[in-house]
Structure formats: structure tokens, C-alpha cells
Amino acid sequence: MSIPPTMKERQKIFIAVMGVTGSGKSTFIQTATGSDDVHIGHTFKSCTGAVSAHTLSLDEYDATLIDTPGFNDTFRSETEVLKEIANWLDYTYRNPPHVMLTGIIYMQSITDRRMYGSTLRNLKMFRQLCGESPLRNVVFTTTGWGTAEKSGELSKALENQESLRSDSDFWEPMIRRGSTMAKFEDTKASALAIIMSIVERNPILLKIQEELVDENKKLIDIAAGHTVNEEMKRLEEKYTQDIAKVQKEMEEALAARDTEYHAALQEAKENYERLRDEAQRARDFLQYERRNEKRRLTNEIEGMKRQLERDKKKHEEYLELKFKAQQINEEMKYEEIVKKLRANGHLLRDEERQVLEMKIQELEAASVNGGNATNSKKKKGKGTKLLVGLAQILGSVTMGLLGFPMLFGDPIGTLASIF
């Protein structure tokens, strides 16, 4: 007896939407799903802070679109963005139902004038995330055609499209390996047509999933992590050389008793030292060092205003995180928090379980060395301190797996509700 169409099990598919900040990822997803839950930016500041999932029904498919931050994120370093995306891809494949993507929609604004900056860096990272074979399930999608037409730059947009298609620095090598191209024309019909071109393809295992899960590599040892690490190393070396040059000029100015010039050089040296230290912190981040430091590696000294904005946002995020951790600590004893963390530790990678145990042991040691640290107030604050410290290092996806999704929102729970 044949099964009525209405009783057939709907096929679940997963499609990642990637691209640089401002390429139209969130706009595409909102247009396709009709959901107001997708945050859209109207400036070059990133609105997609974390990986998020949005589902729509298409014929016999339940299609989940995965919104991802770009590697040129306004407020976060490339290492932070890499870890956010890597963790989502890792945990959803490592744990049931072992998600593999049906395809990837890679978006690029056709009016982007900075084609050789963040575009090339993001493409290199993207290709290393994918590997070679999965490229056949990639649809390179151009956006901004309406804007180009209204501004009278349609011919320039067409030139850009041809460059993307045929230039070996851009999409040409990946198109030769099976990737396709599409135009998003700001309509739901256009968005759905792009999605429907993917749904019947076989799911793919990305290189980053193979490296992290099947080969059990650490984040810094995978191809994409190595690229970020090398870039941070290059910047660190550059700023170290700049500091040495300024130091020499300072000594010469001091010898000539030019105190005003010496003061200006001292300020320049401090700026270079800060930039060098930020590059070092970004490299250390791949080793699961401090997560709450920001780097500003572009525009060197003249980005002070943007840096203040980043620091303000970071502080606000920290205060919100601390408040949520305090709420949890009000409801659970420190021992209960530790028990819950350890009970879910098997879901993590080895390196992250080590971080978890290290933070717990550090806190225990601090309590012992602190002498009379067992009074109720200090003991009550231990849970807050532990959760905040872990959250800043491990991020939203990992804290969700550990049983505390309320600290960031719940990317894992959102996914679980889809199945």
C-alpha cells in the first residue's frame, strides 16, 4: 500500500549561508523565511553575532538555513568567528543526529568596492573550511543588483560578476570543481529558487568537520586555524618591527633633547605595542586563552573611535553575561553547577574538557589559598565566576552543550527543536 503524500516523512536538510559582513546573508534568510527573528544590518557593522538556525517548509523538505558571522566581523577577531562556526559544525556533526550540510550559499555583494581585501581573506578561509569535494554543493550568490541598477552602476556590477566568475583569485577555481553561481534579486521567489537548486543534492562532510571530529584535531591544527594563526603571526612581527623603528627614533630624539618629538614617538610606540599585543592575543585565542580581549588590526592608529565602540559593546556583553550567571548562581549551588558541567563534559572535544577541568581546579585552588574563603557570600560567588570564565573562553555553542544555554541564547536547543 502506498503512503499518502501527507503521511510521508519530510526530509530535513541544512544549508549554511556564509559571506563577509554586509554581503546580505541575513537579508536573504529573512526574505526566504519571512521571519522577523533574523537581524539585518543597514551599515557595515555585523548584526550576526553568533551562528543561528532558521527553518522553512519547501514542498517535501524542511530546510534549515544556518546564518553565520563573517570573518571580517565588526566586533570580533577572525579567531573568534572561526571558533564560533567551527564549534557549531563540530558539535552538530559529532553528536546525534550527526548533521551534514546539504549545501552552502556563499554570498557576495556585487557592489562591494573592496574586492581584494576582506573578500580574498574570507574566500581563503571558506575554501579551507569546505575542502575540495564539498565545493560541488556550493552556490556562489551575488547580491545588491537592485542597488546597482538604481545607482546607474549596473555595467560595473556586471564587470564585477564576470571577474568573480573568471578570476583565479576569486571563484573560478571553485567553479571548476563544481560550484555554481546565482543572482539573488531581493525577492522571495529568487531566494527559494536558489534554495531549491540545492535541496536534492547529497549531504556533504566539510573538511573542518572531518578534521575536528573524525581526526580529532585541535582547532589550531586544522587548515583554517593554521591560516588564521599565520596571519596573526605576520601582523605581530610587523608591529614588533614598527616598535623597534620608533624606539630608535625616540633614542635619537632624546639625544637631540627634542622632548616634544620624543613624546609623540612615545605615543606612537604605545599604539604599535597595543596592536602587536592584540595580534598576539588573537593567536593565543586559538589555544583557548582569554576571550574577552578585542583586536583592532585594520586602519592602525586612526580607528580609535571604533575601538571605543567595541570596548563599550564588550563591556555591555560582559555585564549581561555576569548578570545571567548570577541568576543561575542564585538558583544552583556551586557544587551543583560543577556537577552539571562535568556531567555534560563528554559532549566536548578533549581540549575543551581540559579547559573545563582547569578552570574548576583554578577556582578550587584560589579558594584554598584565600584562607577563610568558605563563607556563604564568597562561596556563592564562585559559581558566577566559574560560569563567566568558562563562557568567555568556550563560547555560546559549548556552554549550551554544557547545560547553560541561557548565558548566550541557545543555538543547540534551537537546532534540537528542528528534529
pLDDT digits (tens, 9 = 90+) for 220-277: 788 776 666 666 666 667 767 777 777 777 677 666 666 666 676 677 777 777 777 7
Q: Look at 30-39, 324-333, 371-380 and tell me which has the smallest mean pLDDT.
A: 371-380
| Spatial CA neighbour of 348 closest among 216, 228, 204 | 216
Q: In which band, very low, low, confident or very high, does the pLDDT at 46 lie, cut at 50, 70 and 90?
A: very low
pLDDT digits (tens, 9 = 90+) for 288-344: 433 433 444 444 445 555 565 666 677 777 788 888 888 888 888 899 999 999 999
Q: What is the pLDDT at residue 44? A: 35
Do the bridges between strand 52-58 and strand 138-143 make them parallel or antiparallel, or are there none, so unpaired?
unpaired
Q: What is the pLDDT at residue 304? A: 53
Indicate whether 412 pLDDT > 60. no
Indicate whether 113 pLDDT > 50. yes
Neighbours of 341 (CB within 10 A): 21
> Residue 224 in contact with residue 82, Cβ under 8 Å?
yes
Kindly give, in sequence order, each residue whose CB lies less than 8 Å from that of residue 261, ignoring residues fewer than 6 positions away: 253
The whole-number average pLDDT for the span 159-177 is 94
Q: What is the pLDDT at residue 158? A: 94
Q: How far is it, in rounded angstroms, from Cα 28 to Cα 163?
A: 23
Q: What is the pLDDT at residue 197? A: 97
- Across 40-54, 84-98, 171-185, 305-319, the highest mean pLDDT is recorded for 171-185
| The residue to which cell 574538557 is assigned | 353
Element (H, E) at 195: helix 188-196
Q: How far is it, in rounded angstroms, from Cα 201 to Cα 210?
A: 19
Q: How far is it, in rounded angstroms, from Cα 32 to Cα 21?
A: 19
Indicate whether 134 pLDDT > 60. yes
C-alpha dist (Å) from residue 244 to 250, 270, 309, 338: 10, 12, 29, 47
| Spatial CA neighbour of 328 closest among 273, 218, 403, 240 | 403
Q: What is the pLDDT at residue 358? A: 92
| Spatial CA neighbour of 401 closest among 416, 386, 388 | 416
Indicate whether 278 pLDDT > 60. yes
User: In degrees, to the nearest 5, what angle opens at C-alpha 28 toward C-alphas 24 and 33?
Assistant: 155
C-alpha dist (Å) from residue 183 to 42, 44, 174: 20, 21, 17
Q: What is the pLDDT at residue 167? A: 92
Give the residue extent of every domain in the chain.
5-217, 229-298, 305-416
Residues in the chain: 419
C-alpha dist (Å) from residue 151 to 40, 84, 154, 160, 280: 22, 36, 8, 15, 42
The whole-number average pLDDT for the span 371-393 is 73
Residue type, 418: I
Percentage of residues in the chain having pLDDT higher than 90: 38
Q: In which band, very low, low, confident or very high, does the pLDDT at 356 lie, cut at 50, 70 and 90?
A: very high
Q: In which band, very low, low, confident or very high, does the pLDDT at 379 lie, cut at 50, 70 and 90?
A: low
| 297-319 b/e (C-beta count within 10 Å ≥ 16 → b) | beeeeeeeeeeeebeebeeeeee
Kindly give, in sequence order, each residue whose CB lies less than 8 Å from that of residue 391, ignoring residues fewer than 6 positions away: 321, 325, 399, 404, 407, 408
The whole-number average pLDDT for the span 88-101 is 92
> Bridge-partner residues for 62, per DSSP?
12, 57
Residue with more model confidence, 79 or 391: 391
Element (H, E) at 15: strand 11-19
Indicate whether 201 pLDDT > 60. yes
Kindly give, in sequence order, each residue whose CB lies less than 8 Å from that of residue 323, ignoring residues fewer than 6 positions away: none
CATH placement of domain 5-217? 3.40.50.300
Percentage of residues in the chain having pLDDT higher than 70: 72
Q: In which band, very low, low, confident or very high, does the pLDDT at 118 lie, cut at 50, 70 and 90?
A: low
> Residue 190 in contact with residue 107, Cβ under 8 Å?
no
